[in-house]
Amino acid sequence: MLSFSAKAENPLYATGRPPLPCQARDKLRGSDSYAVGSDIIGFVERTRGVLLDNQLPSKAEGKSKLFYGYVMVIAAFLAFTVMFGTQYSFGVFFKPVLNEFGWTRAMTSGAYALYIVMHGVGNMLAGRLTDRFGPRLVVTGCGILLGLGYLLMSRVDALWQFYVFYGVLASLGMSSYVPLMSTVARWFTRRRGLMTGIVVSGIGVGTIIMPPVANRLISNYNWRPSYIIVGALALVTVIIIAQFLKRDPATMGLLPYGASSPKENSPHLESRGLSAREALRTPQFWLVSFVYFAFLFSEHGILVHIVPHATDMGISTASAAGVLSLIGAVGIAGRVSIGIACDRIGSKKSLAIVFVLMTVGLLWLQAARELWSLYLFAVVYGFGYGASIALESMTVAEMFGTKAHGAIMGVVVSVSSFGGASGPLLAGQIYDLNGSYFIAFLVYGVVTVIGLALALVLRPPIRNYQ
């Protein structure tokens, strides 16, 4: 502090009272001491800015605390476990429903075909809504529709009700697939493949758990009460999970995991890539769509008809449900493994690997006549099937960026859903005509080879947004 004499000699204190800060600033401005002080203050501010910039990536990567992106991964994993566990239990409900009403396999498969088509349409709409409003509202609405559809399934008395309750309501409830996948993609730039693989492994976990549980419920209570239990589980679980969802890291003042500076964040990251309209004008978009058309054509056909096929061979319902669960179990390894591989070798080579595995599995299925041979099929095909699901979101991000990831992926799912619808329906019709799935499974193998050929010619339309 200044002494009394120093204050007296200082012209700023000539009035006998301390000067206001603005007066002191104006008196000093232009002096050498002011210039030196300005340089020091400027240096401190610049240093502070550099330090703050360097702290942001650490925060984004969760070095100081848990990165919220991991919460998103856990939430999406749990949602997929419930959602797809119930979906892939359809094959277990297939014969009990068919036998009660006397429907043909083609008629019963038609409800699943409508389900897949509406699933694609719903995801296209849900992707656009997520880009605009965020995932929480969209996934909450989907949870309500999903639970309601399954609850009403317990009241089915006619074929049209089966188509409406399952093929429309429950299917639209499954439209949270794209919102969840797209949201996870926005939270990670590094390790996106691994995180996506972990998320979609929830599909495999659901496939392991739900078919045996559904089989036990049907054995003990019949299929109608079983649908009530399944519907209540889906309704409560998905709505609760939706409340933890955040659209992207920017909503919490964070960077995506792996972003090296704020300049890589929104509008930064989201501005990289093609809009939905631009993507639809590229041949790459249609190649990706038809690649997944080929994948879903066999995948949904197998998941619907593998249990009836096994029981037709004289295998018990419990063991047949075990084959379906094994496909889901091996699919978990496929999803996580291919997620890691995709981060290293890209989606194109990864797609080629999984299509080869699926083709080999389908060829083996032609010769499978005993339970052990079906288990071997489940291992080979299940790994490829699981890996293919994990690659869908990553392929869209690699090909077109993340600017309109939700909308683009929604359209891809919508286009490819026609493959998922036609595969089970075709198998049902072939069985009704021939009493065997042999020709249907052979067609699945041919279409899968076509998917492999299309995957090999994929090229990103642009690269500067990566």
For residue 25, pLDDT over 50 is answered with: no
pLDDT at 350: 86
Alpha carbons 143 and 173: distance in angstroms, whole number = 6
Q: Which domain holds residue 145?
A: 66-253+274-456
Alpha carbons 245 and 68: distance in angstroms, whole number = 10
Round the average pLDDT of the chain to a whole number and report it: 81
Which two tokens mark 165?
């309750």
Domain assignment of residue 268, yes or no: no
Domain assignment of residue 406, yes or no: yes
Domain assignment of residue 44, yes or no: no
Instruction: Check if the beta carbon of residue 146 is closer than 8 Å to that of residue 165.
Output: no
pLDDT at 259: 67
Domain assignment of residue 290, yes or no: yes
Alpha carbons 162 and 159: distance in angstroms, whole number = 5
pLDDT band at 460; cut points 50, 70, 90: confident
Domain assignment of residue 387, yes or no: yes
Query: Which CATH number goes with the domain that contains 144?
Result: 1.20.1250.20
Alpha carbons 209 and 33: distance in angstroms, whole number = 75
Domain assignment of residue 260, yes or no: no
Mean pLDDT of 59-80: 77
What is the DSSP secondary-structure string of 250-275?
A: GGGT-PPBT--SGGGSTTTTTTSB--
pLDDT at 270: 44
pLDDT at 262: 52
Which two tokens mark 307?
């249990």
Compute the radius of gyration of the chain from its Cα atoms: 29
Beta bridge partners of 401: 273
N- to C-terminal Cα separation, the chain: 58
Query: pLDDT of 251-275, one tens digit each?
Result: 888 888 776 655 444 444 444 678 8
Give the least confident one: 1-15, 155-169, 326-340. Answer: 1-15
Beta bridge partners of 188: 257
Closest CA to 180 of 233, 231, 140, 236: 140
Domain count for the chain, please give it. Answer: 1
Domain assignment of residue 157, yes or no: yes
What is the DSSP secondary-structure string of 16-82?
A: SSPPPHHHHHHHHTTSHHHHHHHHHHHHHHHHHHHHHHHHHHHHHTTSSS--HHHHHHHHHHHHHHH
Query: pLDDT of 114-156, one tens digit each?
Result: 998 898 888 888 888 888 888 999 999 999 999 999 999 999 9
